[in-house]
Structure 1
Amino acid sequence: MASSIKVTAPTTDRNAWVWGFTPQAEVWNGRLAMLGFVSVVLIEVFSSQGVLHFWGLL
């Protein structure tokens, strides 16, 4: 006799917030670091001065 109950494997939410050094945290850290690096390069290219001079810190 075949069962009519469908069995599914438990799933985990890959986007759930987990504290600590997790693969998701490292991915976001890398993405934000890339954005920061690109923004610094663009500031230096378009303003013809370093970031610290651009912000008036030097």
Structure 2
Amino acid sequence: METNTQTEINGQNRNAWLFGFTPQAEIWNGRLAMIGFVAYLLWDLAGYSVLRNVLHLIG
């Protein structure tokens, strides 16, 4: 039996919204982390740098 690795992981759709320690949950975790990272970069480019403010308070 041959499975399509592009659409299925362990017999389930890889885009399924599953909770727990499943490959699907890790895929969604990575996607949401990428969205958050890009959102922070855009926020930083707009002039609202959290890191710069924290470093200014420390130093």
* Band the TM-score falls in, shorter-chain normalisation: 0.5 to 0.7
Is the helix fraction higher in 1 or 2? 2
The structure having more radius of gyration, on CA atoms, is 1
Q: Which residue of 2 aligns with 1:37?
A: 37
TM-score (norm 1): 0.54
4+ runs of 1 displaced by more than 2 Å? 15-19
Q: Which structure would you say has the larger RCO, counting Cα contacts within 8 Å and 6 or more residues apart?
A: 2
Q: TM-score, normalised by structure 2?
A: 0.53
The correspondence of residues 36-55 of structure 1 with structure 2, limited to 5 A, is 36-46=36-46, 48-51=47-50
Q: Which segments of 5 or more consecutive residues in structure 2 lack a partner in the other structure?
A: 1-10, 52-59
Equivalent pairs counted in the alignment come to 42
> Hey, what's the Cα distance between the residues in 2 that align with 1:44 and 1:17?
30
Query: Distance between the aligned counterparts of 1:39 and 1:16, measured in 2?
Result: 24
Give matches, 1:1-58, under 5 Å: 12-14=11-13, 15-46=15-46, 48-51=47-50
For residues 49 and 17 of structure 1, the distance between their equivalents in structure 2, rounded to whole angstroms, comes to 33
RMSD: 2.6
Higher strand share: 2
String of CA shifts for 1:17-37, please: whole Å, max 9, x gaps.
543110000000000000001
